[in-house]
Amino acid sequence: MPDSKLHELSAQGQSVWIDVLSRKLIHEGALERMMKEDAVVGVTSNPTIFQKAIADGDAYDEQMQELMQGGTSDGKEIFLNLAVRDIQDACDLLRSVWDGGKGQDGYVSMEVDPTLAYEREETFDEAMRLHEWIDRPNLLVKIPATKPGLGAIEDSIAKGKSINITLIFSLQRYREVVEAYLRGLERLVASGGDPSLVASVASFFVSRVDSEADKRLEAIGSDEALALRGKLAIANAKLAYEHYRQAFSGERWDYLQSKGATRQRCLWASTSTKNPEYRDVLYVEELIGPETVNTMPQETIQGFQDHGKVAVTLETGLDEAHRLMEQLAGVGVDYNDVVLTLEEEGVQKFADSFDDLLDGVRSKRRELVPA
């Protein structure tokens, strides 16, 4: 069978990860099939993904009963036990990818409690706990890129732990994320640690940027404003990649690389298209480039396999991307307010999903008590 379009995309240096995880996906062979047929080499998860997985059928009932019989009654601890088993199993399935690629891919991500997003020490403690508990070299613990999260990210890297920085919207915040990674590596090297064992990705949320910017452009309503719809998300990501190229070069980086450090790749998340007027694989086709990751939901994977176009696009149109920022300001859209709003809403949405998830666990627990 000829290579698929996602295999062609991978040949351009972009890794395909999937933004879904469940016990059925792992144990009924779907994830392994996607590794072979869809070039999938990594998995990301979040509270919403686990909420859907646990609510779907009875795949988790037996373990929940065992936990309750063993005296575990707290909703969060039940959830963590369920999720940790899935993450461990997925890590084991992808371990061959991690081994074969010398730690470049084969990662599975699990997020810290999103209600801790503004608590530096608590976030760091939970990241350390998850790494110790899951105990897999191809685990990435996800920490949100809030201001307090930056400190937890740096501290985690300095301890030699691999981190997926999530919920990045702002170019300024991305620069701070890169700096936290570099400082963490420098602290690790200074303490005698081995940076070659540390991996990190910086997860830019893409489609939500257009959703928020388009809403504001439509409210302005002028022809000039309406002509800018559907452009900010791609420009934002391209400008982030431009900074990536700059940050991971030069004397400072060369020193860390000589000690075994690896670049913190940009990861494009939230790449399903929210606006039905836009091409369904827009946020894949327009952001293809080397040393990057695109984590896609299943429908985006299927859509790209069917009709995606593979070409290196990530470093084209940079002048237009810079000019767009000026054009947005010219029509009255405040970029800094757009990305701040998205960060605050993103943290709140994940926290709400986590609360819903725990409510679902408690409801399921009540159902299983008589069993």
pTM flag (> 0.75): yes
Alpha-carbon torsion, ordered 294, 298, 303, 305, to 10 deg:
70
Amino acid at 129: R
pLDDT of residue 235: 98
Checking 220-227 for CB contacts under 8 A at 24+ apart, the result is 220/331, 220/332, 220/333, 222/331, 224/327, 224/330, 224/331, 225/331, 225/332, 225/333
Enumerate domains of the chain plus CATH numbers. Answer: 5-206+256-312+340-368 (3.20.20.70)
Q: How far is CA 246 from CA 184, 234, 249, 314, 321, in A?
A: 18, 19, 6, 15, 17
Alpha helices per DSSP H over the chain: 5-11, 23-27, 30-37, 47-55, 61-69, 75-100, 120-134, 147-158, 171-190, 207-220, 223-226, 232-247, 251-258, 282-285, 298-307, 318-331, 335-368
Instruction: Give 266's strand partners.
Output: 202, 292
Instruction: Give the pLDDT band (50/70/90) at residue 282.
Output: very high
Is residue 161 among the annotated active site residues? no
Read off the pLDDT of residues 15-38 as tens digits, 9 standing for 90 and up.
999 999 999 999 999 999 999 999
Alpha-carbon torsion, ordered 95, 100, 104, 106, to 10 deg:
-20
Quick check: 247 and 185 in contact, CB under 8 A?
no
Instruction: Give the pLDDT band (50/70/90) at residue 2.
Output: low
Of 46-60, 271-285, 330-344, minimum mean pLDDT range? 46-60
pLDDT of residue 1: 45
In the predicted structure, residue 220 carries a pLDDT above the cut 90: yes
Q: What percent of the chain has pLDDT over 70?
A: 99
pLDDT of residue 367: 83
The Cα 192–Cα 187 span in angstroms is 9
Structure tokens at 366: 């009540």
Beta strands at 139-144 and 107-111: parallel, antiparallel or unpaired:
parallel
SS3 assignment, position 3: coil
Quick check: 172 and 194 in contact, CB under 8 A?
no
The Cα 152–Cα 13 span in angstroms is 30
Read off the pLDDT of residues 292-303 as tens digits, 9 standing for 90 and up.
999 999 999 999
Question: b/e string for 2-20 if b means 16 or more Cβ within 10 A?
Answer: eebbbebbbeeebbbbbbb
The Cα 169–Cα 294 span in angstroms is 15
The Cα 90–Cα 256 span in angstroms is 30
Choosing from 5, 102, 142, 159, the catalytic residue is 142
Establish how many alpha carbons lie within 13 A of residue 9's alpha carbon, considering only the half-sphere containing its beta carbon: 31
Longest dimension (CA), the chain: 65
Q: Read off the pLDDT of each residue in 171-182 and give the average, rounded to a whole number.
A: 98
In the predicted structure, residue 365 carries a pLDDT above the cut 90: no
The Cα 344–Cα 280 span in angstroms is 26
